[in-house]
């Protein structure tokens, strides 16, 4: 296991954000972290990254972690090109002067090709569209060769085909390079063809397993503390709140 | 040539000192400025400049070189800003406003007392608006050493500063102490502001810090090129400012030199305005589909 969470709980400002979270992520697995907005997905990612202290339980990590945050704080005129951003992924956390080298350029170029962003490597990051920025940040995170890649809502605010493009790139890299991926999203449908496992978050608790095990009315109903229906329509899944009436 | 370089320019000792110190300060200000602008800390830079007026006027009152006053108050203010932290933006704005008001009130008192007690005329003017021509030669090594310290600090911190600007969370997740790096940068910024205050005065120092960097940001795409562009703009403005100030003595009505700070700031602001003449780069069309590897 790359990451193991054992009975983890997080309290923030007197509110219980997560409780009794026990799950793990194995080598090379593609895991969807699914749940409604405000369910605690970002907090769970921050716990795994070590950015959020837990108030209960144990987090065990082995291997390196790359991270793609949801939002970049970048102005359009910030003098940072796509290739600079990927280069920062190699050793931007270390002090000192960087001299350009053939190896560095080749590493950056290969990574940009792998995520399909080689067409705009000289553009400023701040000028790119949301989908283009996601590709660049994935390259930034992967260039350091992590064992696990965490992505916080990478598909939010993307049009359907951009989102599909990002999922395809991630699934390819995960399979080819054996990188484990943990991706948070409020809609599981774009991920259904590629997900090995799902971690469903609702009401501060999680249920983990395969999609077939977790996406069941009883399991999700227990998480939400409310009756839910799971509808399957032509290979897609809809989770809708129950009416409160006793089912037939 | 006779009309470009008026008599005595190349032989003058003060001109040599002004060019040497002015160049080093311009380079430091420009490079520190690029990170100040990308980190969105231009207002912090300006606040440090305002507070250093108090330090400079206080130092003048007790007979210490003004650079130490600028530096002590700037560094103290930087430490205070770091202490009140970045968590509460509104609290920070209000606190900064109150502290700035108080500091400038003290500066008014110090300047009044200082000019009453001493026969030195123009001291207030030098503190507020600077002059590269009145540098005492004994302070030159100190100024150069301070500039090199600030410059080296920022260049060594550069990759980490850029990564934190991109995303503080990524930097923190990779083990960077974002807060410590921010504090180190604020210290380099306060040294740089103190130097710019010596060069063009405490009130105008923001112009030398932010002006060349803002211009460079508009024309250079990468970080290294932005630093070089900003440094070139700062140095050229300083050189031309020194030359024009010298020449202005011979302009009609003769016998009065215009302040060198005026020329430097005018040139820096002029360069910034020129970038607006350039048509905006067209927004790049989305190429999401054509670049898909699928």
Q: Which of residues 142-161 of B touch A (CB under 8 A)?
A: 155-160
Whether the Cβ atoms of residue A99 and residue A44 lie closer than 8 Å to each other: no
Report pLDDT digits (tens) over A12-36: 988 999 999 999 999 999 999 999 9
In a shared domain, residues A244 and A157: yes
Q: Which helix (H) or strand (E) segment is A56 a member of?
A: strand A56-61
In a shared domain, residues A138 and A150: no
Q: How far apart are CA A58 and CA A56, in angstroms?
A: 7
On chain B, the residues whose CB falls within 8 A of the CB of A78 are 38, 165, 217
In a shared domain, residues A75 and A97: yes
Identify the pLDDT of residue B289: 44
In a shared domain, residues A154 and A44: yes
Identify the pLDDT of residue B294: 36
Q: How far apart are CA A97 and CA B259, in angstroms?
A: 38
In a shared domain, residues A48 and A162: yes
* pTM strictly above 0.95: no
In a shared domain, residues A161 and A239: yes
Range of the structural domain that residue A113 is part of: 71-144
In a shared domain, residues A21 and A96: no
Q: Is B291 close to A88, i.e. CB distance below 8 A?
A: no
Report pLDDT digits (tens) over A34-53: 999 889 999 999 999 999 99
Sign, CA torsion B225/B227/B233/B238: negative
B217 close to A (CB below 8 A): yes
Residue A120 DSSP class = G
Classify residue A136 by burial, with Cβ atoms within 10 Å: 0-12, 13-18, 19+: buried
Q: How far apart are CA A176 and CA A2, in angstroms?
A: 18
Report pLDDT digits (tens) over A217-238: 999 999 998 899 999 999 899 9
Whether the Cβ atoms of residue B157 and residue B181 lie closer than 8 Å to each other: yes
Q: Which residues of chain B have pLDDT under 50?
A: 87, 284-294
Determine the 3-state secondary structure of B44 from DSSP: helix
Q: Which of residues 115-144 of B touch A (CB under 8 A)?
A: none
Residue B137 DSSP class = G
Identify the pLDDT of residue A48: 96
In a shared domain, residues A152 and A222: yes
DSSP of B60-90? HHTT--HHHHHHHHHHHHHHHHHHH-SS-HH
On chain B, the residues whose CB falls within 8 A of the CB of A91 are 159
Residue A216 DSSP class = S
Identify the pLDDT of residue B80: 82
Q: How far apart are CA B15 and CA A191, in angstroms?
A: 69
B285 close to A (CB below 8 A): no
Place of tokens 């259904």: A192
Identify the pLDDT of residue A21: 95
Identify the pLDDT of residue B217: 93
In a shared domain, residues A114 and A152: no
Q: How far apart are CA B14 and CA B238, in angstroms?
A: 14
The residues that bridge with A150 in the sheet, in sequence order, are A67, A182
Please tell me the total count of domains within chain A: 2
Q: Which residues of chain A have pLDDT under 70?
A: 244-248
In a shared domain, residues A123 and A150: no
Domain containing A182 — which CATH number? 3.40.50.300
In a shared domain, residues A58 and A76: no
Architecture in CATH of B13-274: Orthogonal Bundle (1.10)
Identify the pLDDT of residue B293: 41
Number of residues in chain B:
294
Q: How far apart are CA B291 and CA B288, in angstroms?
A: 6
Q: Which of A80, A92, A137 to substitute to test the interface with B, most B CBs within 10 Å? A: A92
Q: How far apart are CA A146 and CA A62, in angstroms?
A: 11
Q: Is A85 close to B166, i.e. CB distance below 8 A?
A: yes
Identify the pLDDT of residue B89: 56
Classify residue A192 by burial, with Cβ atoms within 10 Å: 0-12, 13-18, 19+: middle
Taking the domains of chain B in order of start, what are their residue ranges?
13-274
Q: Which residue in A65, A116, A124 is closest to B293 by CB distance?
A: A116
In a shared domain, residues A152 and A247: yes
């Amino acid at each position: 296991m790359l990451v193991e969470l054992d009975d983890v709980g997080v309290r923030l400002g007197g509110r219980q954000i997560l409780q009794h979270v026990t799950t793990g992520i194995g080598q090379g697995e593609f895991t969807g972290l699914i749940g409604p907005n405000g369910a605690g997905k970002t907090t769970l990612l921050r716990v795994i990254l070590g950015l959020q202290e837990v108030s209960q339980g144990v987090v065990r990590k082995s291997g390196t972690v790359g991270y793609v945050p949801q939002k970049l704080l970048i102005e359009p005129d910030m003098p940072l090109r796509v290739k600079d951003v990927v280069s920062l992924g190699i050793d931007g956390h270390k002090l000192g002067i960087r001299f350009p080298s053939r190896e560095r350029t080749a590493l950056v170029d290969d990574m940009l090709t792998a995520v399909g962003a080689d067409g705009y490597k000289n553009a400023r990051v701040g000028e790119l569209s949301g989908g283009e920025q996601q590709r660049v940040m994935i390259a930034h995170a992967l260039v350091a060769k992590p064992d696990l890649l965490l992505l916080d809502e990478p598909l939010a605010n993307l049009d359907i085909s951009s989102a599909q493009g990002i999922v395809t790139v991630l699934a390819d890299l995960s399979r080819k390079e054996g990188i484990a991926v943990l991706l948070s999203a409020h809609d599981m449908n774009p991920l259904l063809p590629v997900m090995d496992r799902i971690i469903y978050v609702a009401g501060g608790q999680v249920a983990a397993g395969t999609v077939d095990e977790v996406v069941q009315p009883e399991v999700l109903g227990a998480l939400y503390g409310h009756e839910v229906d799971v509808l399957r329509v032509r290979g897609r899944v809809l989770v809708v709140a129950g009416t409160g009436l006793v089912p037939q | 040539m006779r009309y470009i370089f008026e008599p005595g320019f190349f032989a003058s000792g003060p001109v040599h000192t002004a060019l040497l110190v002015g160049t080093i300060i311009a380079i430091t200000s420009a490079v520190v400025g690029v990170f100040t602008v990308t980190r969105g800390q231009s207002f912090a830079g300006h606040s440090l400049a305002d507070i250093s007026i108090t330090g400079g006027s206080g130092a003048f009152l007790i007979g210490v070189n003004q650079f130490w006053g600028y530096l002590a108050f700037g560094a103290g203010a930087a430490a205070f800003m770091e202490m009140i932290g970045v968590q509460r933006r509104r609290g920070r704005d209000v606190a900064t406003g109150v502290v700035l008001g108080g500091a400038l009130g003290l500066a008014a008192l110090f300047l009044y007392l200082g000019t009453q007690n001493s026969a030195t005329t123009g001291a207030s003017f030098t503190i507020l608006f600077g002059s590269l021509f009145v540098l005492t030669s004994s302070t030159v090594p100190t100024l150069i050493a301070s500039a090199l310290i600030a410059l080296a600090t920022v260049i060594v911190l550069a990759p980490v500063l850029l990564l934190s600007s991109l995303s503080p969370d990524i930097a923190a997740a990779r083990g960077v102490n974002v807060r410590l790096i921010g504090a180190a940068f604020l210290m380099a910024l306060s040294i740089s502001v103190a130097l710019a205050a010596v060069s063009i005065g405490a009130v105008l120092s923001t112009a030398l810090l932010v002006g060349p960097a803002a211009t460079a940001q508009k024309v250079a795409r990468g970080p290294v090129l932005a630093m070089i562009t900003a440094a070139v703009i700062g140095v050229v403005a300083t050189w031309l400012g020194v030359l024009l100030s010298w020449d202005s003595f011979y302009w009609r009505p003769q016998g009065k030199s215009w302040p060198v700070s005026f020329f430097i700031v005018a040139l820096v602001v002029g360069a910034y305005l020129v970038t607006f003449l350039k048509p905006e780069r067209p927004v790049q069309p989305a190429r999401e589909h054509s670049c898909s590897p699928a």
